[in-house]
Amino acid sequence: MSFKFPSFDLKALQDSLPTVDQVKESFSKVNAGKTVEQFRESIQPFTAKTGQLIQDQLKQVQQLASNTTDDVEVSELPEEYLQLETNCDLLLKLYTDLIQYTDDTYGKISYDYPPGSSAINKIKDANVSGVISNKFNQLKNVSSPQELEKILFSSSQEPTNEGSVTIQPTSPDLVKTLYGQLSSLALKHSEELKSSENPLSFALLQVSTTYHEIGVARLDQDKKIMAGVNAELARILNEQFIKVNELRKQVYSTRSEFDLLRAKYEEDPENEDLIAKEDELVSATESAVLEMKKFLKPSKNIDLLKVFISAQKEFFELNAKKLGELLSNLSKIPINGEDEEDD
């Protein structure tokens, strides 16, 4: 068996966008990541238990298949049956690889925003820019070489009352995706620039809004893949492949019993027990073939691939649409006074 796998109105645009407070509120409400992690935690024990059971079954099948006696002739199983067994084992490998991949990727919120290097994190945590800014402010008021030396060689850990910056930890409710982090960063700097009436503040607010939508969409993609692919693969293995393996065990166990009876009644091929055991072997083989064909059904497996690809397609199409709209809106922001300054 083979298996194949218009004019621009700035005020109107501003009114159509959410305010900074509204974006903040939407951040606090979105906790899609928690849903993904909870789903992953519910799948992992199920998948691990299934995997262990399958491995135990395969060992038993191998033991039964090789459990022969030197002086007993081993019956040959149909070629179709042996090929189906091979294809089932290949499909099992595909399923387990996909389960592991989707679990390690779409089951982890920050797969597209991995932690930075320890050196960069230490710089960020130490608030280097704040320390440098504070030292320059102190140097402005130096009146003696002694003060200069004290400022230049003082420990960066010394507390200061002026210019100190408290690093606030990222809210656990923020979306832990690449675009979620970029949205949070853009929103932060938009607020800081808002009082200066800098057009960049408005541009950053639009970037934050778009990136937030994309981050949420990525989490939606992840949930679709985890529910429609990861969980479905685990369900199929738990229900169908385990059943296939039980039937395979039955085939090899019955074959061993038949071979022993055939050796025992070599001079009596019409023995009732021998004939009954042969019928049992044929029946066990036919049942296993039927179940293996169900497991290998191409349409079912291709449908799973379609679910996987459709979730990705929807996410990337939304990305392209949102980023296209963002580029268009950014191009419409009026920039006043630059020509005079350049002259």
DSSP string for 163-188:
S--PPPPPPTTS--SHHHHHHHHHHH
How many separate domains does the chain show? 2
Q: Confirm if 288 and 248 have CB atoms less than 8 A apart.
A: yes
**Which pLDDT tens digit goes with each residue over 84-107?**
999 999 999 999 999 999 998 998
Dihedral of alpha carbons 67, 70, 71, 77, sign: positive
Are residues 222 and 109 part of one domain?
yes
**123 within a domain of the structure (yes/no):** no
Q: Using DSSP, how many helices (H) and how many strands (E) does the chain show?
A: 14, 0
Computed from CA positions of residues 49, 51, 56, 61, in that sequence, does the dihedral angle turn out positive or negative?
Answer: positive
Task: Classify residue 240 by its DSSP letter.
Answer: I
Residue pair 204/252 in contact by the 8 Å Cβ criterion: no
Is the distance from CB of 131 to CB of 156 less than 8 angstroms? yes
70 — pLDDT class (breaks 50, 70, 90): low
Together in a domain, 134 and 233: no
197 domain-assigned? no
Domain match, 263 and 162 both: no
Q: What is the pLDDT of residues 225-251, one digit of tens each?
A: 999 999 999 999 988 988 999 999 999
* Residues 75 and 148 grouped into a single domain: no
Q: Is residue 18 part of a domain?
A: yes
Cα–Cα distances in angstroms (integers) from residue 327 to residues 8, 182, 210, 242, in the given order: 14, 16, 10, 52
Residue 193 maps to a domain? no
> Whole domain around residue 140: which residue ranges?
128-166
240 in the same domain as 153: no
Q: Are residues 224 and 88 in the same domain?
A: yes
Is 189 a domain residue? no
Whether 46 and 159 share a structural domain? no
Quick: pLDDT tens for 293-304: 999 999 999 999
pLDDT digits (tens, 9 = 90+) for 183-240: 989 999 999 988 887 889 999 999 999 999 998 899 899 999 999 999 999 999 988 9
Q: Both 146 and 236 in a single domain?
A: no
Residue 149 belongs to some domain of the structure: yes
What CATH number is attached to the domain comprising 221? 1.20.1270.60
pTM of the model: 0.66
What does the alpha-carbon distance between residue 247 and residue 261 come to, in Å, rounded to a whole number?
A: 21
